[in-house]
Amino acid sequence: MFHNQLFEKIKGYSLENKSLNLVHQRNRMLTKTNRMFEYRNLPDSIPEDMLELYLQTWGSVFFRQVDGVLYFFGQIGASGPPDIYLRPTRVTWANPALMRGETNDIPTTGVLVKNDLMFEGILPIIDKWCTMLVELELSMNVSAINMRSTRVYTADNDTTAESAREQQRQIRKGKDHVIVDKSLIEGLQVIDAAGTSNSLTEYREAYQYIKSLMYAELGLKTASNMKKQYVSDTENIIEDESLLPFIDEMLLERQKGMDAVNKMFGTDIQVKLRGTWELQAMELEKAMEIAEEPSAEEGETPNDKQESASEETEGTGEDSGEDVTGQSEEETSTEEESNAEEDDFEDTVNTEVKTGINTANVTLPENNILGITSRQVEEAMIFNKLLEVIEGVSENDEKTETK
Query: What CATH number corresponds to the domain at position 63?
Result: 2.40.500.10
CA-CA distance, 150 to 148, in Å (whole number)? 6
From start to end of 41-99, where are the E strands? 60-66, 69-73, 77-79, 90-95
Using 50 as the pLDDT threshold, list the residues of the chain that sit under it: 1-3, 6, 237-238, 295-297, 301-302, 305, 313, 316-326, 359-360
CA-CA distance, 75 to 52, in Å (whole number)? 13
Q: Which domain holds residue 148?
A: 124-231
> Does 227 lie in the same domain as 140?
yes
> Does 222 lie in the same domain as 128?
yes
> Does 130 lie in the same domain as 96?
no
Per-residue pLDDT of 354-375, as tens digits, reads 555 554 455 555 555 555 666 6
> Does 221 lie in the same domain as 275?
no
Residue 264 inside a domain? The answer is yes
Q: How many domains does the chain have?
A: 3
Residue 187 inside a domain? The answer is yes
Residue 193 inside a domain? The answer is yes
> Does 129 lie in the same domain as 104?
no
Q: Long-range contacts made by residues 279-286, C-beta under 8 angstroms, separation at least 24?
A: 280/219, 280/220, 280/221, 280/240, 280/243, 280/244, 281/244, 281/247, 283/240, 284/237, 284/240, 284/241, 284/243, 284/244
Residue 18 inside a domain? The answer is no
> Can you say how many angstroms the Cα of residue 41 is from the centroid of all Cα atoms in its chain?
33
CA-CA distance, 93 to 259, in Å (whole number)? 22
> Does 148 lie in the same domain as 89?
no
Sheet of strand 100-105, all strands in order from the earlier edge strand to the far edge: 77-79, 90-95, 100-105
Is residue 313 a contact partner of residue 255, using CB atoms and an 8 Å limit?
no
Residue 177 inside a domain? The answer is yes
The per-residue pLDDT for 39 is 97
Residue 290 inside a domain? The answer is no
Residues 6+ apart with CB under 8 A from 281: 244, 247, 273
The per-residue pLDDT for 278 is 86
The predicted model scores a pTM of 0.62
Residue 201 inside a domain? The answer is yes
CA distances (Å), origin 146, targets 53, 142, 143, 206: 41, 6, 5, 19
Per-residue pLDDT of 315-328, as tens digits, reads 544 444 444 444 55
> Does 177 lie in the same domain as 219?
yes
